[in-house]
Amino acid sequence: MNELKFIDEYRDSQLAKKYLDKIFQITTRPWKIMEACGGQTHTIVKYGIDQLLPAFITLVHGPGCPVCVTPVSKIDAAIELVLRFKVILCSFGDMLRVPGTSMDLLRVKAQGGDVRVVYSPLDAIRVAKENPTREVVFFAIGFETTAPANAMVADLAKKQGIQNFSLLVAQVLVPPALAAILSSTASKIDAFLAPGHVCTVVGYEEYEALVQKYKIPIVVTGFEPIDILQGIIMCIDQLENGKLKIENQYTRSVKKEGNLIAKKKIFEIFDVTHQTWRGLGNIEWSGLKLSENYRDLDSEFRFHLSSRFPQSENENSDCISGLILQGVKKPLECQQFGKRCHPDHPLGATMVSSEGACAAYFRYRGLFRHE
């Protein structure tokens, strides 16, 4: 695929039509392709890419939203830190509406809990310095994309001796989650569009093992409409011709080895661990935890939370977000979509996050509005 230079070229309707024509030309049988990034999901839904493809090409949405896969136990732990231990909790804004077992952080804030929206982990360090008599916790969530910054802030706090700062860590790793989906009998995926921003940090060498084990094409893909169409063409070309390999559509940002400096910092600060994913369950070696040298900065250790909040999934029984995150269902298949579940009253995390699939359908498709 030829690489373009300017952003408007990646949104050019005539170029998009040429790629769509090519997809129709090369496709001879049904294929199911999963995108593993919430940014890609929103592009697909916003521009109607899934509706422009041949009817027998199915795009399904995977666990590509880090807010959406943060387990209930972590939300409950964050709430406990604020209500019981009276900490200042610093979090990205998306997390405030994600349901816990009985409430969310926005309700905690409304009840007087000190929950503050920040835009960078460094903001949480600043809050800790400004409030030396208060414990300050940063809710460190995300895929590999946010891990370098969260590792950096842990390292900074330790080096500067900031005693009143810690992290509630909910960092997850994408490849083990894709392996879990491929191992499931419920999800029959023929190819993956791999997340470009994640691979910008860690590269795509680890995805090669998935290709070999599960005999499936994986294409590292960007986020603009032309990126998505190019990625789909690369997937279909492999599928139609019996090729199985990892390819990189997002060459303007991603190198095979990733960002070596960022990767080094991640694994200096964090160790790989088992992690529960909301909607997917426990996945071995799919998360990050602070290493032994940084354990004093781990909020769960500092406040003895692990035994009080075992990793679990207490999702609302009327919410099918777990099936959506697995690519088994789509948002419009949910009986509660746009009715009992909407952005003002979300039943599940996929309606909350700016990267959630349900939020994308509600925003761009406009097929339902709440009663």
Domain-located, residue 272: yes
- The 3-state secondary structure of 91-145 reads ECHHHHHCCCCCCCHHHHHHCCCCEEECCCHHHHHHHHHHCCCCCEEEEEEECCC
Mean pLDDT of 5-21: 95
Q: Domain end: 285, 305, 320, which one?
A: 320
User: Do residue 238 and residue 358 come from a single domain?
Assistant: no
User: Do residue 316 and residue 330 come from a single domain?
Assistant: no
User: Do residue 144 and residue 200 come from a single domain?
Assistant: yes
User: Do residue 350 and residue 306 come from a single domain?
Assistant: no
Number of domains composing the chain? 2
Cα 194 to Cα 228, 254, 283, 305, 310, distances in angstroms: 11, 11, 19, 34, 30
Domain-located, residue 54: yes
pLDDT at 186: 79
Indicate the residue type of 284.
Answer: E
In this predicted model, what pLDDT tens digit does every residue of 217-265 receive, in sequence order? 999 999 999 999 999 999 999 999 999 999 999 999 999 999 999 999 9
**Which structural domain, as residue segments, surrounds residue 335?**
321-364
Domain-located, residue 174: yes
User: Does pLDDT of 185 surpass 90?
Assistant: no
User: Do residue 157 and residue 297 come from a single domain?
Assistant: yes
Domain-located, residue 296: yes
User: Do residue 326 and residue 301 come from a single domain?
Assistant: no
Q: Domain end: 320, 340, 356, which one?
A: 320
In this predicted model, what pLDDT tens digit does every residue of 40-94 receive, in sequence order? 999 999 999 999 999 999 999 999 999 999 999 999 999 999 999 999 999 999 9
**369 pLDDT band (50/70/90 cuts)?**
very low
On whether the CB atoms of residues 83 and 108 are closer than 8 A, the answer is yes
User: Do residue 266 and residue 359 come from a single domain?
Assistant: no
In this predicted model, what pLDDT tens digit does every residue of 197-224 receive, in sequence order? 999 999 999 999 999 999 999 999 999 9
Q: What CATH number is attached to the domain comprising 74?
A: 3.40.50.11740
Quote the DSSP letter at residue 277: E
Domain-located, residue 370: no
**310 pLDDT band (50/70/90 cuts)?**
low
Q: Where are the alpha helices (DSSP H) in the chain?
A: 13-26, 38-46, 49-52, 66-69, 72-83, 105-110, 121-130, 147-159, 174-183, 196-202, 207-214, 225-241, 260-269, 299-302, 321-325, 357-364
Burial of residue 79 (CB within 10 Å: 0-12, 13-18, 19+) is buried
User: Do residue 347 and residue 314 come from a single domain?
Assistant: no
- Tokens encoding 297: 């900065």
Domain-located, residue 325: yes
User: Do residue 154 and residue 13 come from a single domain?
Assistant: yes
Sort residue 106 into left (φ over 0), alpha (ψ -120 to 50) or beta.
alpha
Domain-located, residue 26: yes
- Polymer length of the chain: 371
User: Do residue 52 and residue 151 come from a single domain?
Assistant: yes
Least confidently predicted of 5-14, 39-48, 289-298, 360-369: 360-369
User: Do residue 3 and residue 119 come from a single domain?
Assistant: yes
Is beta strand 270-277 parallel, antiparallel or unpaired with respect to 281-290?
antiparallel
In this predicted model, what pLDDT tens digit does every residue of 327-338 receive, in sequence order? 999 999 999 999
Domain-located, residue 369: no
User: Do residue 65 and residue 166 come from a single domain?
Assistant: yes
**354 pLDDT band (50/70/90 cuts)?**
confident
pTM listed for this prediction: 0.94
Please give the torsion angle defined by the CA atoms of residues 199, 201, 206 and 210, in that order, rounded to the nearest 10 degrees: -30
State percent of the chain over pLDDT 90. Answer: 89
In this predicted model, what pLDDT tens digit does every residue of 280-296 receive, in sequence order? 999 999 999 999 999 99
Mean pLDDT of 114-131: 98
Alpha carbons 80 and 75: distance in angstroms, whole number: 9
pLDDT at 371: 43
